Amino acid sequence: KNIEWAEFLHRPNFFFFDFDLVRKEIENRTNILTRFNGITAKQIILKIHTNRHDLTLVDLPAVPKDKVGNQSSEIHKHIQRLINSYVKQPNSIILAVVTANTDPSTSESLQIAKKLDPDGIRTIAVVTKLDLIDDGTQQDTKDLLCGRRIPVKLGIIGVVNRSQKDIIENKSMDATLTSETEFLKTNYPDIYTKHGNKALAHTLQMVLITHIKKVYPKLKFELEELKNKLGKKLLAMHTPDNNISFLIGLLKDISKSYEDTINGNQNDVSVEKIVGGASIARIIQQKYLKTINAIDPLQDLSNENIAKILLNTSGTNQSTFVNEKALQKILKRQLNNLIEPSLDCVELVRNEMLNILNSIDIRCLETLKRYPQLNEDVRKVFDKLLEENVNNIKEFIASYIESYQECLNTANPDFIMEIVKSNNTIQEEILAAANINNYATDDTSDTLLTQPAFTFGKSLEKSIPLPQLIPDKMAQLKKIEINRIQMLNQLLSGLNNQEVSLESSEQVKLHRDLSQCYFEYIRKIVRDFVPKRIKHKMINSFLKELDKRLNEEIFQSYLIEKKIDEVLLEDESFKNDRNDVEAKLDAVRKALKSMIDIQYF
């Protein structure tokens, strides 16, 4: 029961019974982490098994006045930053060490404590080197030990540690404690019981217990949260009992979790960022449709360009009323602007679908990280399957738009309606070019006959005061609109059959307006088609094939090549990580148990 030993977290299951070796291990580990005379934020975690006191201490470096040897000129700032990161924690107790043979007001540790704990409610002052003061300053030291010079709330305790001579002679701690008690009893007989290393250890333990009781509810909640988090992490790190069934289950979990993430059925819904299918929808809505809608139907197409196309497609003949070849050349050129954004959208969705793999269930991701080869192979399957779908869908979309470039259908009712819905200027120019005016039925009222013949639909409604739009007039307006549609249909279905020729400027306007309306008509088709094609042939097809391809290209491949055990072999770093998690979980459980005991202390 009286045997004491130590162990380091970086050397699990190795026990030190000789504390000289513990000191050497600390020095060696420090040199490894800091590369000699350096500084690091990495901890050296040492656990000492003793029947004396239960304490957790963080030994922080002293702040040097000057750099030593090859130390960085910034060493002072680095150490200050490291100390502050621990001392500023509201749940930490500050143990400020002060030497008795120097002025306390110049103490670096007290200055740091005062800065981060101005009221002194978290600070204990420890006064060392009591045996090195002059006889004439003993009263000043007593004032210091009685708290008359340092304003801290948790107490001031003086100690006498081993001298350099004692260390060289390997004086035991028990002998040191006996000498310390005799010194304090001789020099400070009325207060000696409140000082010394034993009193310090007891005070620290009581302060720790009192502090834990004070923050008990919050601390217990945080420890329970940490226990659950570590438990889940450890569960995901367990070693499989059967590698074959483990691999089959993992691949199915990956496929299922990916599908759930795409469809918005994931268990843990992110509140920090948009993921899964929502991120794909955002790409389509905010990037693709926004880009498509912003394209000018007449982009980089001037009236001069149209005039030259009209001339070059007429040859030696005079250009007819509507030059079909010219219109096709113009539209082929303009509709080409819809292809690149559509193909870019496919690429953006492909990249996002690869990114979504990083948003699936955290347990699947953590498991994949354990096996680098498996992780790489899974991502290769995703990339390969997406590449197959991407190439096919890009070819189809490009071909789909090209079909509208090569095969015009100006008699299509939807195109006619696009003209009907266009602005007044375009309607006027198209109908005026065809010399269609004052077209009205005999029963049209004088009010309607006074309206320009090229005004119809919503534009006509706006041109007549609302009271005049009685039901029979509304019916007449509808009839006129139908007549206009029939005229446009007859006009545009014939194209070059018209014998009428136009002035060059009028013909340019006509072909420009027809091109703009036809572009709008095709744009609506494309912006409706591309997202549907992506969802159907890219996303849904991918999800349908994913489970099968993971099984074929990973599980069956591993099985045939007899490499399942090899791929699922854990490396040493992961084993060390699991041991680290187990140790932390064990520590949290013990802390929770200790908190239960503290309630009744």
Distances in Å between the alpha carbon of 156 and those of 102, 201, 203, 360, 372?
16, 13, 10, 54, 55
Which of the 8 DSSP states describes residue 193?
Answer: G
CA 562, 564, 567, 570 torsion-angle sign = negative
Beta bridge partners of 46: 8
What is the mean predicted confidence (pLDDT) over 575-582? 86
Q: Locate tokens 């008795």: which residue? A: 100
Tokens of 219: 């601390």
C-alpha 389/C-alpha 255 separation (Å) is: 17
Q: With 70 as the cut, is the pLDDT of residue 275 above it?
A: yes
- Per-residue pLDDT, 484: 59
Residues 403, 483: contact at Cβ < 8 Å?
no
Per-domain residue ranges for the chain? 243-406+514-569, 413-498
Q: What is the mean pLDDT of residues 577-597?
A: 87
- Reported as a single tens digit per residue, the pLDDT across 509-538 is 777 888 888 888 888 999 899 999 999 988
- Residue 435 and residue 437: Cα distance in Å, rounded? 6
Which residues pair with residue 128 across a beta bridge?
A: 99
pTM over 0.75: no
* Residue of 123 and 213 predicted with greater confidence: 123
Task: For residue 591, give both structure tokens.
Answer: 């802390």
Q: Encoding tokens for residue 265?
A: 């059925």
Q: Which residue has the higher pLDDT, 442 or 43?
A: 43
Query: Which whole number is the average pLDDT over 548-552?
Result: 90
CA dihedral 11, 12, 18, 20 (to 10 degrees): 30
More confident residue, 554 or 311: 554
Give me the sign of the Cα torsion angle 422, 426, 428, 430: negative
CB-CB contact of 78 with 72 (8 Å)? yes
* Greater pLDDT, 478 or 359: 359
End-to-end CA distance of the chain: 23
Q: Looking at the DSSP assignment, which residues form a beta bridge with residue 31?
A: none
DSSP state of 241: S
Cβ atoms of residues 535 and 346 within 8 Å: no
Which residue carries 């680095």 as its tokens? 78
The SS3 assignment for 96 reads strand
Q: How far is CA 128 from CA 8, 187, 410, 557, in A?
A: 28, 14, 98, 69
Query: In what helix (H) or strand (E) does residue 367 lie, and over which residues does it extend?
Result: helix 362-370
State mean pLDDT over 210-222. Answer: 83
> What is the chain's length?
601
Q: How many other CB atoms are there within 10 angstroms of residue 308's CB atom?
A: 13
pLDDT, tens digit, for every residue of 68-119?
A: 666 777 788 888 889 999 999 988 899 999 998 888 888 889 999 999 999 9
In eight-state DSSP terms, residue 35 is T
pLDDT above 60 (res 276)? yes
pLDDT of residue 449: 33
Summarised one tens digit per residue, pLDDT across range 144-198 is 888 888 888 888 999 999 988 888 888 888 899 999 999 999 999 999 999 999 9
Task: Map tokens 């549907």 to a residue.
Answer: 532
Q: Which CATH class is domain 243-406+514-569?
A: mainly alpha
pLDDT in tens, 478-503: 665 665 565 556 555 544 444 444 44
Laid out side by side, the sheet with 94-99 consists of 94-99, 123-128, 156-158
The mean predicted confidence, pLDDT, of the chain is 80
Most confident range (mean pLDDT) of 83-87, 236-240, 426-430 is 83-87
CA–CA separation, 181 and 584 (whole Å): 38
d(CA 304, CA 504): 11
Q: List the structure tokens of 345.
A: 């959208």
∠ CA 418-424-428, rounded to 5°: 95
**The predicted structure's pLDDT at residue 83:** 92
Place 599 in a pLDDT band, splitting at 50, 70 and 90.
Answer: low
